[in-house]
Amino acid sequence: MRTHRIAVLPGDGIGEEVVREGLRVLDAVAEMEGFTVERTVYPHGADHYLETGETLPESVFEEMAGMEAILLGAIGDPRVETGFLERAIIWGVRQTFDLYVNLRPVKLYSEALCPLKNKGPEDVDLVVVRENTEDAYAGLGGIHRIGTPHEVAIAEMIYTRNGVERVIRYAFQYAAKRNKGGAPKVTLVDKANAIRAQDLWTRVFAEVASEFPTVETDHAYIDAACMWMVKNPEWFDVVVTPNLFGDILTDLGAMVQGGMGIAASGNIHPGRVSMFEPIHGSAPKYRGQNKASPIATIEAVRMMLEHIGESAGADRVGNAVRDALAGGRIKSLSAGAHATDEVGDIVLAYLQENAPTS
Ligand code: IPM
Ligand code: MG
């Protein structure tokens, strides 16, 4: 039997609850498709840090390096200094494993979930390819003369030719095989009119585009892209953008597809261990209350299945989520609209229902 080795890091806040539902779906799919998943669960996150002083130790990174994927719930806790655990764990994994693509689908399954007037599933179906290892996140900079009137705070936006080129090439390859219908299109989203360092993105985009004559290209500045994504989301197919803009644009995208309760992401380095997570945070106020939507984590499981080569299983999950949302069984993805485990039950029911009886 095929065996996949994955790491599970439920993390903080609602992480544990949503990951529990994601794993129920993973187990059901594994049984249907005839593979097994060997899971190592890691306790790291805020509680573990407060007890032991440890974030994510070197030994865990070494173990993860030998696995196919990591499923992460959420990281972040108000008891710990802002950004400390996020940097050590989320950014730590992204950097250590050089997960240069942050793949974030924005897909609407039911008009009822969309806050935009007169937009339906046919209008909202795009994928953001967010660069995931550079930009203002790289950590170059600091704070000097802290607390004085002469304080200086610097965060450099770093782009390397290699870093820009590989993520743009991934976006074109993805668009070429995505098959949304009509000619595939990649839109570059940047702010090269104000941030001239992003001229590197403009030039590399044109170079890589010339390798893909069947893929159309488009461009929007980030401010305008936010506007168009609300007004005309149907214009977008694949969007490629630097790290920080991708972070912002995908929260906007999450709302357009129904809320943070559905938006998932893959931190990917093709062919290497990669990390899959809901894009929402740890929402500490909902911890342990069985209120958070697990759909985003279930969608992260779908993306993980795709990454580990279980496409048929990934399709099963995608179809079950689609049916649960389009069929109206799940009315809202907001916290408290349904119980966390109730949503898991509904998705599992659709999984079984859709399964061929042989
Ligand atoms: C995300 C998150 C993270 C990011 C935070 C938690 C560091 O917002 O994955 O979108 O900005 O990348
Ligand atoms: Mg974010």
Question: pTM of the predicted model, to two decimals?
Answer: 0.96
Atom of ligand 1 nearest to the CA of 87: 7
Strand partners, 125: 107
Q: Which residues contact 335 (CB under 8 A, 6 or more apart)?
A: 261, 283, 286, 291, 292, 293
Q: Which CATH architecture has domain 1-107+258-358?
A: 3-Layer(aba) Sandwich (3.40)
The atom of ligand 1 lying closest to the CA of 247 is: 10
Judged by its nearest atom, the ligand closest to the C-alpha of residue 104 is: 1
- Protein residue with least CA distance to atom 9, ligand 1: 279
Of 187, 229, 181, nearest in space to 209 by CA: 187
Q: Note the pLDDT tens digit of each residue in 260-279.
A: 999 999 999 999 999 999 99
Say how far apart CA 215 and CA 225 lie, in whole Å: 20
Distance of CA 248 from the midpoint of ligand 2 (Å) = 6
Q: Tell me: pLDDT of 358 over 60.
A: no
- % of residues, the chain, pLDDT over 70: 99
Range list for CATH 3.40.718.10 in the chain = 1-107+258-358, 131-256
For residues 42 and 33, give the distance between their C-alpha atoms in angstroms, rounded to a whole number: 26
Ligand nearest to the CA of 252: 2
Q: How far apart are CA 265 and CA 218, in angstroms?
A: 23
pLDDT tens-place string over residues 331-357: 999 999 999 999 999 999 999 998 876
CA of 243, closest atom in ligand 1? 12
Ligand 1, atom 7, lies closest to the CA of 86
CA distance 224 to 194: 13
pLDDT at position 357 is: 60
Fold of the CATH domain 131-256:
Isopropylmalate Dehydrogenase (3.40.718)
Q: Which residues surround ligand 2, an ion (CB under 5 A)?
A: 247
Which structure tokens are listed for 165?
Answer: 């080129």
DSSP state of 311: H
Ligand number nearest CA of 137 is: 1
pLDDT, tens digit (0-9, with 9 covering 90-100), for 76-135: 999 999 999 999 999 999 999 999 999 999 999 999 999 999 999 999 999 999 999 999
CB 301 within 8 A of CB 317: yes
* Arithmetic mean of pLDDT, 153-174: 98
